[in-house]
């Protein structure tokens, strides 16, 4: 019995020491909502997940609260419709019992602002350790990065922590910019600007400069395509663009060979060269996935981001890229909701049309039950 107790004590001590060591030597990852290309995630990034439509996004776009959306999922259909009709009366600004696209668009933008406030409030509750209604820098880095001791800060100087160091530096810049009265702490409004800088115009210069610091490697104030895809993708691009010797030998013919003007020579465009040149052979045997990725990114750069088609992103184009606008997202959501509920196709939503499709706009226990059945079907399919 004594030996068992000693063994248990040793095990407990080892676990406690391991937890303490883990805290001392491993920093927490900051929860940053970013896309693969470095842009901030748009408000609708969860609207479709792995090709599956997420109705929660639609419900939150109408209710302006994730908590309210969860509550609606538990309501009887009759109560859900009753509450929805009250919202429609508020949404209908000209009191004609019809919801126009502009009215719905304005309402969704309002909901997005409310969602940001709700998210920021919840985050502040997590970070405000002493519950005094303010967030200090020490409180933030303690909760977000696990930095509570001098030794933790020194860990960031290691090479494998370079990315975390960059995020910490960016957060410090945003924190200082949000701290309008320079008192070293953020109240709820300042914390909202800190957590959602993309929605506050006076924070955008900081966001822009951070994008330039990360991407603008030649410091010319603009971002070209190579800078856009970043250094870590250069290895992937090597197999696609081919090496310098081939480019030197065939550069005069490049434009002629690049039939589709993609900026990349594809297998079909190389023709006879693909079987006679060792560099082309390496090119054609490159990773197909990397080649497709590069072409996709080039198309995105040219068609979505480079508005004036000059081959570079200026400051306005950079901001449009890294800070998705809620205006466009709200417009897409209006199209989506009208497509689901405008039964007579008159480009107006009557109250009856909305209430008939209440499950599209808000949830109810029937909707929630339907979701459970859908999940059950998927479970059985997987079996």
Residues 148 and 246 grouped into a single domain: no
Residue 67 located in a structural domain: yes
Report the alpha-carbon distance of residue 127 to residue 135 in Å, rounded: 7
Give the list of residues 6+ apart from residue 259 with CB closer than 8 angstroms, or none. 269
Residues 115 and 161 grouped into a single domain: yes
Report the alpha-carbon distance of residue 234 to residue 226 in Å, rounded: 8
Q: 176, 191, 220: which is the final residue of a domain?
A: 220
Residues 184 and 107 grouped into a single domain: yes
Residue 30 located in a structural domain: no
Residue 353 located in a structural domain: yes
Residue 297 located in a structural domain: yes
Residues 105 and 75 grouped into a single domain: no
Residues 139 and 59 grouped into a single domain: no
The answer to whether the predicted template modeling score (pTM) of the entire model surpasses 0.85 is no
Residues 179 and 197 grouped into a single domain: yes
- Count: domains in the chain: 3
CA distances from 167 to 3, 66, 173, 377 (A): 49, 27, 10, 42
According to the model, what pLDDT value does residue 265 have?
A: 62
Residue 365 located in a structural domain: yes
Closest listed residue to residue 326, CA positions, set 127, 64, 146: 64
Residues 166 and 266 grouped into a single domain: no
Residues 108 and 94 grouped into a single domain: no
The pLDDT profile of the chain, 383 residues, written as one tens digit per residue, is 444 444 444 444 443 344 333 333 334 444 445 555 556 677 767 777 777 888 999 999 999 999 999 999 999 999 999 999 999 999 999 999 999 999 999 999 999 999 999 999 999 999 999 999 999 999 999 998 888 876 666 656 666 677 788 888 999 999 999 999 999 999 999 999 999 998 899 999 999 999 999 999 999 999 999 999 985 444 444 444 434 445 445 555 666 777 777 666 666 666 655 555 555 554 454 445 577 888 899 999 999 999 999 999 999 999 999 988 899 999 999 999 999 999 999 999 999 999 999 999 998 876 544 444 344 343 344 34
Q: 161, 194, 220: which is the final residue of a domain?
A: 220
Tell me how long the chain is: 383
In degrees and rounded to multiples of 5, residue 156 shows phi and psi of -70, -15
Closest listed residue to residue 192, CA positions, set 174, 210, 214: 174
Q: Which domain holds residue 278?
A: 223-313
Facing residues of 349 across strands? 99
Q: 298, 313, 328: which is the final residue of a domain?
A: 313
Residue 343 located in a structural domain: no
Residue 21 located in a structural domain: no
Residues 231 and 127 grouped into a single domain: no
Residues 79 and 114 grouped into a single domain: no
Residue 323 located in a structural domain: no
Residues 251 and 302 grouped into a single domain: yes
Residues 198 and 254 grouped into a single domain: no
Q: Which residue has the tokens 């990360």?
A: 214
């Amino acid at each position: 019995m004594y030996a068992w107790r000693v063994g248990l004590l040793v095990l407990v001590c080892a676990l406690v020491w391991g937890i303490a060591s883990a805290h001392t030597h491993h920093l927490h990852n900051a929860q940053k909502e970013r896309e693969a290309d470095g842009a901030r995630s748009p408000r609708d990034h969860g609207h479709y997940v792995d090709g599956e439509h997420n109705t929660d996004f639609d419900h939150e776009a109408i209710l302006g609260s994730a908590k309210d959306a969860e509550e609606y999922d538990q309501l009887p259909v009759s109560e859900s419709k009753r509450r929805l009709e009250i919202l429609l009366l508020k949404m209908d600004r000209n009191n004609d019992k019809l919801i126009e696209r502009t009215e719905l668009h304005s309402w969704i933008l309002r909901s997005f602002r409310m969602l940001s406030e709700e998210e920021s409030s919840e985050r502040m509750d997590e970070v405000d350790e002493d519950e005094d209604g303010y967030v200090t820098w020490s409180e933030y880095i303690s909760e977000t990065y696990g930095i509570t001791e001098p030794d933790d800060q020194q860990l960031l100087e290691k090479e494998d922590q370079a990315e975390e160091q960059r995020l910490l530096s960016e957060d410090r810049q945003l924190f200082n910019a949000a701290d309008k009265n320079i008192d070293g702490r953020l109240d709820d409004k300042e914390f909202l600007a800190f957590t959602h800088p993309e929605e506050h115009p006076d924070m955008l210069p900081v966001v822009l400069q951070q994008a330039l610091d990360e991407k603008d490697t030649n410091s010319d104030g603009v971002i070209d395509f190579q800078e856009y895809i970043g250094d870590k993708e250069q290895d992937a691009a090597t197999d696609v663009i081919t090496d310098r010797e081939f480019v030197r030998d065939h550069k005069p013919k490049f434009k002629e060979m690049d039939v589709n003007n993609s900026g990349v020579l594809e297998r079909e465009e190389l023709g006879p060269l693909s079987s006679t040149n060792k560099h082309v052979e390496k090119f054609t045997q490159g990773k197909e996935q990397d080649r497709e990725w590069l072409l996709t990114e080039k198309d995105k750069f040219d068609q979505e981001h480079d508005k004036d088609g000059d081959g570079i992103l200026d400051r306005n184009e950079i901001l449009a890229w890294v800070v998705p606008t809620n205006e466009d997202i709200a417009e897409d959501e209006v199209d989506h909701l009208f497509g689901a509920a405008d039964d007579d196709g008159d480009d107006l939503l009557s109250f009856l049309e909305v209430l008939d499709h209440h499950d599209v706009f808000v949830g109810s226990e029937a909707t929630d039950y339907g979701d459970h059945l859908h999940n059950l079907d998927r479970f059985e399919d997987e079996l």
